[in-house]
């Protein structure tokens, strides 16, 4: 018996696409020292792909399979909220939370068998993440607002500690 029969409604192409997309984004995150690395990104893509693929299994008069997408978005929002923290008056983790949202969207795309689009969105995501890093390196004033406040807070704490 063919392995595809055991995986139904999942497809080997979908599983591979989810892992590749998670790998593309996860590698960038991991190399950047962020908490959402290859493993997390691959699992988020794969998980959302699995849930999105379950929609066609639910049939009936009152069943709307598109509601699964809404529930995925709600669940991913909860996970993303857990990633966002406030430290010393500065909110951190918003980019990681945003990446989680994008990963879920990619997993949903894969669930709708939009493999090429999912890979292109993954590459675009890495381009945005790296492109902004490059802009911040070239134009230090882009980072000043966020990290200037954090440095100011650390300096105040150090001054209070020394007094």
For the segment 78-123, what is each residue's pLDDT rounded down to a tens digit? 998 888 887 777 788 899 999 999 999 999 999 999 999 999 999 9
From 116, 123, 126, 121, select the one nearest 16 (Cα to Cα): 116
Say if residues 42 and 18 touch (Cβ distance below 8 Å): yes
Q: What is the value of pTM for the model shown? A: 0.81
* Residue span of the structural domain in which 130 resides: 3-162
Q: Tell me which of 107 and 6 has the higher pLDDT.
A: 107
- pLDDT for 81: 87
- pLDDT for 55: 76
Half-sphere exposure of 9 (CA within 13 A, CB side): 14
The answer for residues whose C-beta is within 8 angstroms of residue 85's C-beta and 6 or more apart is: 91, 92, 93
Strands (E), 33-140: 85-87, 90-92
- pLDDT for 13: 96
pLDDT score of 45 more than 90 = yes
Q: What are the percentages of helix, strand and coil residues in the chain, rounded to 5?
A: 75, 5, 20
pLDDT score of 154 more than 60 = no
Provide the number of structural domains found in the chain. Answer: 1
């Amino acid at each position: 018996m063919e392995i595809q029969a055991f995986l139904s409604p999942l497809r080997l192409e979908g599983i591979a696409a989810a892992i590749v997309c998670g790998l593309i984004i996860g590698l960038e995150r991991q190399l950047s020292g962020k908490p959402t690395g290859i493993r997390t990104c691959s699992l988020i893509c794969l998980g959302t792909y699995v849930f999105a693929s379950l929609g066609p299994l639910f049939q009936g008069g009152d069943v709307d399979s598109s509601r699964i997408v809404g529930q995925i978005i709600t669940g991913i929002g909860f996970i993303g909220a857990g990633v966002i923290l406030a430290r010393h008056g500065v909110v951190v983790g918003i980019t990681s939370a945003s990446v989680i949202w994008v990963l879920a969207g990619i997993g949903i795309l894969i669930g709708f068998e939009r493999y090429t689009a999912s890979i292109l969105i993954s590459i675009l995501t890495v381009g945005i993440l790296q492109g902004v890093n490059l802009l911040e390196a070239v134009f230090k004033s882009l980072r000043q607002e966020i990290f200037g406040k954090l440095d100011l807070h650390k300096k105040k704490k150090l001054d209070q500690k020394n007094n």
